[in-house]
A and B are shown apart, each in its own frame.
Chain A
Amino acid sequence: MVTSVTSFSRTGLSDWLIQRVTSLVLLAYFIVIAYQLLGSVDYTSWRLLFNQTWMKVFTLMAALSLAAHSWIGLWSVFTDYLTERMLGPKGNAIRLLCQLSASLALVGYVIWVIVIIWS
C-alpha cells in the first residue's frame, strides 16, 4: 500500500467516490443555472432565485463539491508532474507549495461563496 498524507481522504476509493458524487452535484447545479439562464434573467429574478433557502443550500453544496472535486483533480496533477522524479531534488518542495496554494485558494473560494450567498 502506498501512503499519501496530502490526498483528500487518504484512501483511493474514497477519493474516487467523492469525485464522482461531487461531479453529479455539479452537473445538477449547472443544469439548474443553465435552465435559469435560458429564460429571461434580470437583477430582480436573479436576486429572488438566490434569496430562496434551497438555492442557497444548493449553491453551498455546489461550492463545496467544486472545492473537493478540484482538490482531488489537482492533487492528481501535482503528484503526476511536480515530483522529484520529474523536477529533481526540489520537486517535493515545489509540489507542497503548489498544494498549499491550491488548498488555500479553494478554502478562500468556499468562504467567499458563503459570504456572498448568506450575507
Chain B
Amino acid sequence: MLQVSLYRYNPEADEAPYMQDFSVDTGGRDLMVLDVLELIKADHDGSVTYRRSCREGVCGSDGLNMNGKNGLACITPLSESVKGEKLVIRPLPGLPVIRDLVVDMSLFYAQYEKVQPYLQNPTPAPAIERLQSPEERAQLDGLYECILCACCSTSCPSFWWNPDRFVGPAGLLQAYRFLADSRDTATEDRLARLDDPFSVFRCHGIQNCVNVCPKGLNPTKAIGHIRTMLLNRAT
C-alpha cells in the first residue's frame, strides 16, 4: 500500500489548509502520480480536486509538487517520485490556492502576457509565409516547446517573492523565443521593456527551473542570452 499525504483546502468549508492521508493500493505497479490521484478520487474521496487533461505531458494542466519537487503528475512515475513508500502531494508553491491542488495562475499568465509572446513584424506579410533558413529555425529549438505548466516559475524563489515584478523563467524563456526569432522585428522594444532591476535581473541563476522542467528545457540559459543581448545593446 502506498501512503499518500494530500494537501486539502476548500476555502468555503476549511479555515486553513491541512494534509489528508490515504492508503492507496497500487497493485505493485509503477503508476504515474496522476493515476494515484485518479484512484483516490474514484475509491476514497470524490471531492479531491485537481486539474488534468491530456494525461501524457502535453497540455501542462497537472503541474504539482510531488515529494518536494515540481513536475507533471501524468508523466512522473512513482518510482521516480516516491521515497520510502510515502508520497506527499501539494499544489504548485507560491500561487494562491483555489481548492486542493488547483492554483490561481493569473500572476503567471500576467507575466507571460507582459513579454508579448507573439510575432511582431509590421512589414507586409508575403503571399505564402515568412521564410527562415534551417539555421534560423534551429535558434528556436529548446524555446518553443514550453507548455506553460508553470513548474519552473513556481519553483523559483525570485518568482515566489516578486511574482508581480519578476517575469519568471517561463515568461523569460518565451521572451527569448521571440528575441531569437529571425522573423520578429520588435527586438529593441522587447529589450527596452526588460531592462529594469526586476523583470530579468531578479534571476540569480540557481537553476531550480532547469531542474524541474518536464520538457527538459533550460530557462536559465535563455535568461543568460537575454542578458547578453541587453549588454550588447547598451555597450
Using CB atoms and an 8 Å cutoff, list the residues of chain A in contact with chain B: 1-4, 7, 10-13, 15-17, 75-76, 79-81, 83, 85-86
Contact = CB atoms under 8 A, between A and B. Distances in A.
Nearest to A75: B197
B128 interface: no
B196 A4 contact: yes
B195 A80 contact: no
A81 B198 CA distance: 14
Contact of B197 (A15, A17, A81, A85): A15
Interface string B89-127: 000000000000000000000000000000000000000
Contacts, number: 56
Given A1-B193, A80-B158, A13 B231 contact: yes
Secondary structure call for the B interface: loop
B162 A80 contact: yes
Nearest to B191: A13
Contacts of B193: 1
Interface string B34-70: 0000000000000000000000000000000000000
Nearest to A17: B231
Contacts of A13: 195, 201, 227, 230-231, 234
A15 B195 CA distance: 10
Contacts of A2: 165, 196-199
A80 B200 contact: no
A15 to B, nearest CB: 6
23 contacts: A1-B192, A1-B196, A1-B199, A2-B165, A2-B199, A11-B196, A11-B197, A12-B195, A12-B196, A12-B230, A13-B195, A13-B230, A13-B234, A15-B201, A16-B227, A17-B231, A75-B197, A79-B162, A79-B198, A80-B158, A81-B161, A83-B162, A86-B161
